[in-house]
Amino acid sequence: MINLDDNGQSWGELADGELVMHAQSGSHEAFGELVRRHRAEVYGYAKMITHESFLAEDIVQDALIRAFMHLGKLVEIERFLPWVHRIVRNQAITKLKSSSVSKERTFTELGHLMPNRHSDSDEVSDLDGILSRLNRSAEESSTKQGHPEERLMQKETLKVLTQVISCLRPRERLVFESHFFDQLSPQEIAKLFQLSSSNVYQIISRSRKKVIQERLRITVDSYVKTRRDMGWMKKQILPKSETFAEARSWNTAVDSLYTMLKYTNKGLTFPMVMGLTGQAFRINIIPGSVHIAGPTAYPFGETMARGLKNIGFLAKYVDGMNAAIGPNTNLIDQALVGKDAMDKREIHHALPEALGLIHRSIKEGYPVLAWDIFFPEFGLIYGYDDGEKLLHAYECCRLDTLPYENLGRSVLEEIFVLALDEPFGINQKDQLRSALQMIVEHYDGEESTSSSGSVKGIKAYDVWCDALREGTVEPNGNAYNIAVIMDGRKHAAPFLNEIMASWPQADDVDNRIRELLGEAAQLYEGISSHYEALHHMFPFPEGGEPGSEMNARKSIEHLQAIKKQEEAAAQVFRMLLQQLG
């Protein structure tokens, strides 16, 4: 059905000035047309200022309420859009100034709306009564201040608040509203409801977790609704890459980065991606058990963003990782890995931000690298379906869908997503120099570390040997460390040889660089052979018997030989950096 004005014209045919005149006369349809016409541009303007999608959406919502309430003050009716832009800018400045305030706000912020507590204990203990009093107080306050738009926002807040708290059971609601609305202490609540103080603390803690989860669920639903309202609701699935057919490496981070870069114009070989990102030279060992988490015990965002910068891409990421090391998923009950187990876990706090990054990247034609989609490895999210609220993902040759809410609800309950941002030009010399700086820092143990307690670089070989001597090595984790590190070293020599083959021969410095690249490549061929021997002794996932005295002794011999060669390679890299200037 086409909406018509009094003269029979459709609203879409009218100029902004005419729509403003109709809206000033009370036409909600005319204002709705103005919103439909300009909301995407207004959102883009807010996003440009804030650089954060959800904050921009909040600002646009507030700005449109203010615009509607103050439309009568607009004199230059043809300048509706610039006028709204000013409102958006003012709202954004106000929001950004208060950005130091914690994003996770408690409901006690509504405390200033509360009148003095009523003496009737029935009303005190009734959530609907509390909300009613909040609503009456908010309306009275806003009417006195003469800000009807604030009254609308407060009423909307109360509506959302009521929806959020509906997830609580009756007794939980009583305790929750008494504590967070009426500001009663746990001791006062215990006396009021004839409970023990410890029971009250448990109820408050449990209720708070439920409310946070419900808030996240509503946030995701609101996010999808906003996409629908703004005409962005769609199903977008990128073409599957031919690289989905098989895994090229035990290092799923590089496997995923390589596949992601296939969607760009960077025609890099797999060894070049492995080398320029520094992954061909990484080693992280967790002392004692040589835990399976070792190869991924590094700050994903910082390390991968730096590696992509060596290639010629800036990156954006959302980091919702846990500080502690999670379990080895190969050794736990596999019933904890499936979808049913996911549905029972809490929604991850970083989910809304992650979804925003995923939508933006896929819209631009690039998949998103993600960690722990179905299990603790790296994969790609290459499509989304807003109608069904499903993500289309690839992880370790598995193509499947994942509900929006289940991202971050795998075994480790972690979220990490990384998207390509802006490409930039970088020459071969700068690429090699920045990659070598990254590699040497890692070998010397100078790069940032995660809180996992892992030992990185050359020193990692010492703690690995110590664990073998002490007989504390866990077979499955040990085998996985060997497989991943072996795979990196296997691609190190091809990476160095590829650079050497394309390096110019203009002068003596270039010739010396080529000579050093060849020397380093030979060292990594020897290192790779030692790792292949270890992999033969301790295949993954079986793990072999690293605890036997003979196997431990042979392993230590291989690791000590590798350490000497890696020390020699690191020295060659330092000489290369001197030549590169």
The mean of the pLDDT values for the chain is 82
CA 453 from chain center: how many Å? 23
Structure tokens at 99: 């950005």
Distance in angstroms (rounded) separating the CA atoms of residues 33 and 80: 12
Share above pLDDT 90 across residues of the chain, in percent, rounded to a whole number: 45
Residue ranges per structural domain of the chain:
11-97, 107-229, 237-267+313-423, 269-297+427-581
Q: Which residue has the higher pLDDT, 273 or 161?
A: 273
The alpha carbon dihedral of 11, 12, 15, 16 has a sign of positive
In single-letter form, the type of residue at position 27 comes to S
Interior/surface letters 394-407, b for 16+ CB within 10 angstroms, e for the rest? bbeeeeeebebbbb
pLDDT of residue 334: 67
**pLDDT tens digits, 477-524:** 999 999 999 999 999 999 999 999 999 988 999 999 999 999 999 999
**CB contact at 8 A, 397 and 375:** no
Distance in angstroms (rounded) separating the CA atoms of residues 410 and 393: 14
Q: Which of 219-223, 286-290, 374-378 has the highest mean pLDDT?
A: 286-290
Q: Which residue has the higher pLDDT, 238 or 65?
A: 238
Summarize the confidence of residues 127-150 as an average pLDDT: 47
- Say what the pTM is: 0.68
pLDDT of residue 449: 63
pLDDT of residue 281: 97
H-state helical runs in 98-126? 121-124
Confidence band of 32 (pLDDT split at 50, 70, 90): confident
pLDDT of residue 57: 78
Q: Which residue has the higher pLDDT, 28 or 544?
A: 544
Summarize the confidence of residues 380-392 as an average pLDDT: 94
Q: Which residue has the higher pLDDT, 370 or 160?
A: 370
Give the three-class secondary structure for 506.
Answer: coil
**CB contact at 8 A, 274 and 251:** yes
Same fold, 11-97 and 107-229: no
Confidence band of 150 (pLDDT split at 50, 70, 90): very low
pLDDT of residue 84: 87
449: Cβ–Cβ under 8 A, 6 or more apart, which residues?
298, 299, 456
CA 133 from chain center: how many Å? 39
pLDDT of residue 382: 96
Least trusted range by pLDDT, from 154-168, 364-378, 428-442 = 154-168
* Preceding omega of 541 cis (within 30 degrees of 0): yes
Residues in the chain: 581
Summarize the confidence of residues 311-332 as an average pLDDT: 84
Residue 392, pLDDT > 90, answer yes
Distance in angstroms (rounded) separating the CA atoms of residues 558 and 527: 9
- Among 539, 536, 533, 530, smallest CA distance to 560 is for 530
Structure tokens at 171: 């007794």
Residue 3, pLDDT > 80, answer no
pLDDT of residue 512: 95
Distance in angstroms (rounded) separating the CA atoms of residues 234 and 217: 20
**pLDDT tens digits, 65-108:** 788 778 887 888 888 888 888 888 888 877 776 654 333 333 33
- The CATH architecture one would assign to domain 11-97 is Orthogonal Bundle (1.10)
Give the three-class secondary structure for 98.
Answer: coil
**CB contact at 8 A, 397 and 247:** yes
pLDDT of residue 216: 65
CATH number belonging to domain 107-229: 1.20.140
pLDDT of residue 5: 55
How many CA atoms within 13 Å lie on the side-chain side of 202?
6
* Terminal CA-CA length for the chain: 70
Summarize the confidence of residues 374-394 as an average pLDDT: 93
pLDDT of residue 229: 67
Q: Which of 33-47, 68-82, 451-465 has the highest mean pLDDT?
A: 451-465
Summarize the confidence of residues 388-413 as an average pLDDT: 90
pLDDT of residue 576: 97
Summarize the confidence of residues 109-137 as an average pLDDT: 39
Query: Exposed, middle or buried, 88 (CB in 10 Å: 0-12/13-18/19+)?
Result: buried
Distance in angstroms (rounded) separating the CA atoms of residues 8 and 19: 14
pLDDT of residue 107: 32
Residue 119, pLDDT > 50, answer no
**pLDDT tens digits, 260-313:** 999 998 889 999 999 999 999 999 999 999 999 999 999 999 999 999 999 999
Distance in angstroms (rounded) separating the CA atoms of residues 285 and 462: 10
Q: Which residue has the higher pLDDT, 145 or 428?
A: 428
To the nearest 10°, report the CA torsion of 88, 90, 94, 96. 60
